[in-house]
Structure 1
């Protein structure tokens, strides 16, 4: 066996299918990261300081996920997308900013994006484990799902 081959017990077709899902997830995460940076930079209002700090904490969480998803793609033997053009073609999220810069408007838009990502990941967990024989990626994205669920909860609680 060639040591440079990705022989991890998952055939190439299944790895390729999993990677296609991960490429979309990476694009979603990168766009979410960018939107959180935008919120951090542009939030205004009486709660500016607390929300400025909050958005920074949140984009740091997503930055870690971005790196981990890209590295998971590499572990499966494929290259990660890495340009804005690729991300925009792959993402499920809308590439737009809210017109207002108050924290509630920004948070509502981010909550919508988290919900989109959560639904995509939830569907993908079973596909990865059952259809593509990749329990490792199913477990990996379950952890990411939990991060987005917590972030969504924080946004929902803040918007009440």
Structure 2
């Protein structure tokens, strides 16, 4: 195997990858929560929320792959177990089946947390001169900010 030489210092690559691991864990936890809520939502907003949650978890499925592949591009092993994600994630699981309105509230907070985690990773990427990670994370922030806004709008 050859050594990696993509113009990013090793200490920056490792720090960025550690941040991306947290972003991956938050994103995967949010994916699972969204998929769970999609399966279990009931009530007068069933159809609207069921379809919206499906859109969200489908988008998140692609995102977790993109984030994991970026970690690998930086020559670091991507986490891939529930245990690892639970240790790394800032998003806590929901044990019960909340109402549709509570699901929206949980998911709004989840998307906002992903934005906060992404901001931390963006700072690391900028400090390390890693434009590729910065672009990926910036795109993720935009998507999660918009999704949180749309979720909040359903509660007005």
Q: Normalized against structure 2, the TM-score is what?
A: 0.94
Does the C-alpha gap of structure 1 residues 97 and 111 become closer, same or farther in structure 2, counting only changes over 3 Å? farther
How far apart, in 1, do the equivalents of 2:57 and 2:109 lie? 16
Structure 1 residue runs of 4 or more that deviate by more than 6 Å after TM superposition: none
Q: Alpha-carbon deviation of 1:21? A: 0.1
- In the alignment, is residue 126 of structure 1 matched against residue 123 of structure 2? yes
| Contact 2:15–2:124 (CA under 8 A) maintained in structure 1 | no
Q: Which runs of 5+ in 1 are unaligned?
A: none
Superposition RMSD in Å: 1.3
Structure-to-structure mapping, 1:53-92, within 5 angstroms: 53-92=51-90
Q: Which runs of 5+ in 2 are unaligned?
A: none
How far apart, in 1, do the equivalents of 2:124 and 2:14 lie? 13
Structure-to-structure mapping, 1:34-113, within 5 angstroms: 34-97=32-95, 99-100=97-98, 102-113=99-110
Worse-superposed segment, 81-90 or 114-123: 114-123
- In the alignment, is residue 9 of structure 1 matched against residue 7 of structure 2? yes
